[in-house]
Amino acid sequence: MDTVEQGANAHEHHHGYISRKDDYLKRLRRIEGQARGLQRMVEDEKYCIDILTQVSAMTKALQAVSLGLLEDHLGHCVVEAARTGGREADEKVREASEAIARLVRS
Protein backbone atom coordinates (compact mmCIF):
# COMPACT_ATOMS: atom_id res chain seq x y z
CA MET A 1 0.00 0.00 0.00
CA ASP A 2 2.93 2.32 0.70
CA THR A 3 4.54 1.95 -2.70
CA VAL A 4 2.98 1.55 -6.11
CA GLU A 5 -0.43 3.07 -6.05
CA GLN A 6 -1.78 3.64 -9.49
CA GLY A 7 -0.35 0.95 -11.65
CA ALA A 8 3.37 1.57 -11.78
CA ASN A 9 4.06 -2.07 -12.06
CA ALA A 10 1.43 -4.41 -13.34
CA HIS A 11 3.27 -7.42 -12.03
CA GLU A 12 3.54 -6.26 -8.50
CA HIS A 13 0.22 -4.59 -8.24
CA HIS A 14 -2.91 -6.06 -9.64
CA HIS A 15 -6.18 -4.51 -8.72
CA GLY A 16 -8.15 -7.54 -7.84
CA TYR A 17 -10.04 -8.10 -11.04
CA ILE A 18 -7.05 -9.70 -12.69
CA SER A 19 -8.33 -13.21 -12.16
CA ARG A 20 -11.36 -12.50 -14.30
CA LYS A 21 -9.53 -10.33 -16.81
CA ASP A 22 -10.32 -12.61 -19.74
CA ASP A 23 -13.97 -12.65 -18.86
CA TYR A 24 -14.11 -8.84 -18.77
CA LEU A 25 -12.21 -8.56 -22.03
CA LYS A 26 -14.60 -10.97 -23.71
CA ARG A 27 -17.61 -9.02 -22.52
CA LEU A 28 -16.12 -5.70 -23.57
CA ARG A 29 -15.31 -7.06 -27.03
CA ARG A 30 -18.93 -8.13 -27.33
CA ILE A 31 -20.03 -4.65 -26.24
CA GLU A 32 -17.72 -3.14 -28.86
CA GLY A 33 -19.42 -5.42 -31.40
CA GLN A 34 -22.81 -4.16 -30.24
CA ALA A 35 -21.65 -0.58 -30.81
CA ARG A 36 -20.70 -1.53 -34.36
CA GLY A 37 -23.99 -3.32 -34.88
CA LEU A 38 -25.83 -0.19 -33.81
CA GLN A 39 -23.95 1.83 -36.40
CA ARG A 40 -25.05 -0.60 -39.10
CA MET A 41 -28.64 -0.35 -37.91
CA VAL A 42 -28.57 3.45 -38.11
CA GLU A 43 -26.74 3.28 -41.45
CA ASP A 44 -29.47 1.00 -42.81
CA GLU A 45 -32.19 3.10 -41.19
CA LYS A 46 -33.64 0.25 -39.21
CA TYR A 47 -36.79 0.83 -37.27
CA CYS A 48 -36.18 3.19 -34.38
CA ILE A 49 -37.72 0.93 -31.74
CA ASP A 50 -35.47 -1.97 -32.79
CA ILE A 51 -32.44 0.26 -32.38
CA LEU A 52 -33.65 1.30 -28.93
CA THR A 53 -34.02 -2.36 -27.97
CA GLN A 54 -30.40 -2.92 -28.95
CA VAL A 55 -29.26 0.13 -27.00
CA SER A 56 -31.06 -1.22 -23.91
CA ALA A 57 -29.34 -4.59 -24.33
CA MET A 58 -25.97 -2.89 -24.65
CA THR A 59 -26.61 -0.73 -21.59
CA LYS A 60 -27.48 -3.83 -19.59
CA ALA A 61 -24.28 -5.54 -20.74
CA LEU A 62 -22.24 -2.52 -19.66
CA GLN A 63 -24.03 -2.44 -16.34
CA ALA A 64 -23.20 -6.08 -15.74
CA VAL A 65 -19.54 -5.28 -16.36
CA SER A 66 -19.59 -2.44 -13.83
CA LEU A 67 -21.39 -4.51 -11.22
CA GLY A 68 -18.81 -7.26 -11.65
CA LEU A 69 -15.90 -4.86 -11.41
CA LEU A 70 -17.43 -3.23 -8.38
CA GLU A 71 -17.88 -6.54 -6.57
CA ASP A 72 -14.27 -7.44 -7.33
CA HIS A 73 -13.18 -4.04 -6.09
CA LEU A 74 -15.10 -4.37 -2.83
CA GLY A 75 -13.81 -7.88 -2.32
CA HIS A 76 -10.20 -6.92 -2.91
CA CYS A 77 -9.25 -3.28 -2.54
CA VAL A 78 -11.87 -2.31 0.02
CA VAL A 79 -11.46 -5.44 2.12
CA GLU A 80 -7.70 -5.04 2.04
CA ALA A 81 -7.91 -1.38 3.02
CA ALA A 82 -10.29 -2.31 5.84
CA ARG A 83 -7.65 -4.64 7.21
CA THR A 84 -5.00 -1.96 6.94
CA GLY A 85 -7.48 0.29 8.72
CA GLY A 86 -7.47 3.97 9.53
CA ARG A 87 -7.84 6.65 6.90
CA GLU A 88 -6.99 4.24 4.11
CA ALA A 89 -10.18 2.31 4.83
CA ASP A 90 -12.32 5.44 5.08
CA GLU A 91 -10.99 6.74 1.79
CA LYS A 92 -11.61 3.50 -0.05
CA VAL A 93 -15.17 3.35 1.25
CA ARG A 94 -15.84 6.92 0.21
CA GLU A 95 -14.28 6.35 -3.21
CA ALA A 96 -16.31 3.17 -3.78
CA SER A 97 -19.48 4.95 -2.66
CA GLU A 98 -18.90 7.74 -5.14
CA ALA A 99 -18.41 5.20 -7.92
CA ILE A 100 -21.66 3.49 -6.90
CA ALA A 101 -23.48 6.84 -6.95
CA ARG A 102 -22.21 7.55 -10.47
CA LEU A 103 -23.36 4.10 -11.51
CA VAL A 104 -26.80 4.47 -9.98
CA ARG A 105 -27.27 7.89 -11.54
CA SER A 106 -26.08 6.89 -15.01
| Alpha carbon separation from 85 to 16, 64, 68, 80, 89 (Å, rounded) | 18, 30, 25, 9, 5
> Smallest gap, in angstroms, from Cβ of residue 3 to a copy of itself?
11
Q: Which residues contact 32 (CB under 8 A, 6 or more apart)?
A: none
> Smallest gap, in angstroms, from Cβ of residue 86 to a copy of itself?
11
How many residues bind a copy of itself, per CB under 8 A?
74
The alpha-helical segments, DSSP class H, found in 1-106 are: 21-43, 48-73, 79-84, 86-105
Q: Does 77 bind a copy of itself (CB under 8 A)?
A: yes
Site string for a copy of itself, 81-100 (x = CB under 8 A): -xx-x---xx--xxxxx-xx
Site string for a copy of itself, 45-74 (x = CB under 8 A): xxxxx-xxx-xxxxxx-xx-xxx-xxxxxx
Site for a copy of itself in 16-45 (CB under 8 A): 16-18, 21, 24-25, 28-29, 31-32, 35-36, 38-40, 42-45
Cα gap 85→51, rounded to integer Å: 48
